[in-house]
Amino acid sequence: MSITAPQLPQQEHRPSKRVHRAWWVAAVAFTALVGAAAFRATPSVFIEPLHREFGWSHATISTAISVNILLYGLFSPFASALQERYGIRRVVAIALTLIAAGSGLTVFMTASWQLVMAWGFIVGIGTGSMAMAFVATITNRWFIERRGLVSGILTAGSAAGQLVFLPVVGLLVEGPGWRAASLLVSSAALAMVPLVLFVLRDRPEDVGLRPYGAGPDYMTPAPPTSGAVRRTLAALLAASRRKAFWLLAGTFAICGASTNGLVGAHFVPAAHDHGMPITAAASLLAVIGIVDLIGTIFSGWLTDRFDPRHLLFAYYALRGVSLLALPRLFTDGIEPPMVFFIVIYGLDWVATVPPTIALCREHFGEDGAVVFGWVLASHQVGAAIIASAAGLVRDFTGAYDFAWLVAGALCVLAAGMSLAIARPNRA
């Protein structure tokens, strides 16, 4: 790729105690991710209320969740290229507006196809535009140093959305009802739009800066000359010729299946099947978000210092063992073994993201963010498949046990696949 050296104002070379603009951009991106993640807190809490009010089966409701998850993944790589072409601010503002519209429209629905349209298509495209490829784009453009740490902090924004909203959503569902919870999520996403438009900038060069940690000899990559769709497909074609891409995509598909596709969507109804109140189960899921803030940020710090492949091996192995033990931990209350599971599993919730982003950047260079978008698409395909499959397992067997065991076994497989990823020559 051709490169050009920007002429930056001389005052930017002087030592300064001011906080680099990159950290403000990262803070706004984190806040926007929290707003976008508000919707991610609702589906698992809504399954039982929608089942009671409309008589829809668990499989029917899970279909809407699956469509959302699938579009979230499939739109992600194109959103990354659209951010390159039309700017981060514009794409993110539109995405937050779609999330607000889709969540708000659910209060008027009377048929299951309307749930699929609102939850699945409208919110799916909106959240896909705010997917982890957005994290990769911000990290790659604004930071040279501390990339692992920043990717960990931004990834934790999704967990923070559950942390902030899930207990409140659970209380609203038990009190005023699920419609009040939907309107809360809609308002939270919409409130983020002015902040994004006012503070977020597309590149450091737009404000006369270099990325954080860049030296005086830093050379800015030239903007892409091809269209967003063409570049996205070209990046996929080039990446698909390499073994590393398929291993990263395969491990991340299992990551999605074992997190938001299964635990994120079905933990609350599974706990409720054993007599646990919805508010208690939702609080446990929120604790996963709290612990994940620590785990993911720490994972980013570790990614700056250790081999990402070894980190992925440890994360997937730990997750697999915890999921294999989960079916024996459900009771009608919150017992110490379940709390232990929540802490261990929560530390690992999305800790896989910083090392996966790092490996995409190492293997695919300037196209790393777009390629990570495709890797994330596989994450969501895996999540979508198991979200629907777990609903069917529940309808046919009356329990989720088989789904937990399959997910645990897949995580053990992903641990082995992580070690098979080659490291490119650092030179």
**Euclidean distance between CA atoms 285 and 270, whole angstroms:** 12
Half-sphere exposure of 62 (CA within 13 A, CB side): 25
**Which of 101, 288, 118, 84 has its CA nearest to residue 187?**
101
**Euclidean distance between CA atoms 166 and 170, whole angstroms:** 6
DSSP letter string over 352-380?
A: THHHHHHHHHHHHGGGHHHHHHHHHHHHH
**Euclidean distance between CA atoms 229 and 179, whole angstroms:** 37
- To 5 degrees, how large is the angle CA 68–CA 72–CA 73? 125
Q: Which two tokens stand for residue 163?
A: 């942390």
DSSP letter string over 22-81?
A: HHHHHHHHHHHHHHHHTGGGSHHHHHHHHHHHH---HHHHHHHHHHHHHHHHHHHHHHHH
Q: Provide the b/e sequence for 108-122 (b: ≥16 CB within 10 Å).
A: ebeebeebbbbbbbb
262 in Cβ contact with 404 (< 8 Å): yes
Q: Which two tokens stand for residue 277?
A: 């109140």
Q: Which CATH architecture has domain 20-206+228-419?
A: Up-down Bundle (1.20)
Q: Which two tokens stand for residue 145?
A: 């140093």
**In Å, what is the CA distance from 413 to each residue of 254, 319, 419?**
9, 11, 11
The predicted pLDDT at position 322 comes to: 94
Q: Walk along the chain (427 residues) and give the pLDDT tens digit of each residue.
A: 444 444 444 444 444 457 788 888 888 888 888 877 777 667 778 888 888 888 888 788 888 888 887 887 777 777 777 777 778 888 889 989 998 998 889 889 888 889 889 888 898 888 878 766 678 788 878 888 888 788 778 877 766 666 667 778 878 888 888 888 888 888 888 888 888 888 888 778 877 778 888 777 776 666 655 566 777 788 889 999 999 999 999 999 999 999 888 988 889 889 988 999 888 888 888 788 788 888 888 998 899 889 999 999 999 999 999 999 999 999 988 899 999 999 999 888 889 988 998 999 899 887 887 888 889 889 888 988 898 899 889 888 989 999 999 999 999 999 999 999 987 764 4
- To 5 degrees, how large is the angle CA 151–CA 137–CA 7? 115
User: Is residue 1 classed as helix, strand or coil in its secondary structure?
Assistant: coil
H or E element at residue 206: none
Q: pTM of this prediction? A: 0.70
DSSP letter string over 115-184?
A: HIIIIIIIHHHHHHHTSHHHHHHHHHHHBSSSHHHHHHHHHHHHHHHHHHHHHHHHHHHHTT-HHHHHHH
Hey, what's the torsion of the CAs at 30, 69, 416, 310, to 10 degrees?
Answer: 0
**Euclidean distance between CA atoms 370 and 411, whole angstroms:** 25
**Which of 46, 367, 32 has its CA nearest to residue 230?**
367
The residues pairing with 3 across neighbouring beta strands, listed in sequence order, are 221
Q: Could you tell me whether strands 220-221 and 3-4 are parallel, antiparallel, or unpaired per DSSP bridges?
A: antiparallel
